[in-house]
Amino acid sequence: MAAVVKLIPGRTVFFVCDIQTRFRTFIHGFDHVVATGNKMLKLAKVLDVPVIITEQNPRGTCSHAPRSTLGRRALAACAKPSFQPSGPPLHLGTFEKTAFSMAIPPVTALLKQHNFKSVVLFGIESHVCVQQSALDLLQLGYDVHVLADGVSSTRSQEVPIAIARMRQAGAQIVTSESAAFELQTDASKDNFKYFSRLIKEEAERTEQALEVLAAPASKL
Q: Are 124 and 17 in contact (CB under 8 A)?
A: yes
Whether residue 1 is contained in a domain is answered as no
50, 136 Cβ separation under 8 angstroms: no
- Is 133 exposed, middle or buried, given 0-12, 13-18 or 19+ CB atoms closer than 10 A? buried
Q: Of residues 129, 136, 143, 149, which has the active-site annotation?
A: 129
**Half-sphere exposure (CA, 13 Å, Cβ side) for 141?**
6
Domain count, the chain: 1
45 a catalytic residue: no
Does residue 56 belong to any structural domain of this protein? Answer: yes
Question: For this structure, is 129 an active site residue?
Answer: yes
Q: Is the Cβ–Cβ distance between 161 and 188 less than 8 Å? A: no
Identify the active-site residue in 17, 18, 42, 149.
18
Report yes or no on 65 lying in a domain: yes
Write the DSSP assignment of 63-97 as a string of letters: TTEEEEE--SB-PPPPPPPSS---SS-SEEEEEEE
pLDDT at 95: 94
**209 in a structural domain:** yes
CATH code at 89?
A: 3.40.50.850
Give residue 197's pLDDT.
Answer: 96
Average pLDDT along the chain, 220 residues, taken 10 residues at a time: 87 96 92 96 94 87 40 51 51 94 98 96 97 98 98 96 97 98 97 96 97 76
Which amino acid is present at 95? F
Domain assignment present for residue 7? The answer is no
Residue 174 belongs to domain spanning: 12-217
| 93 within a domain of the structure (yes/no) | yes
Residue 121 lies in a domain: yes
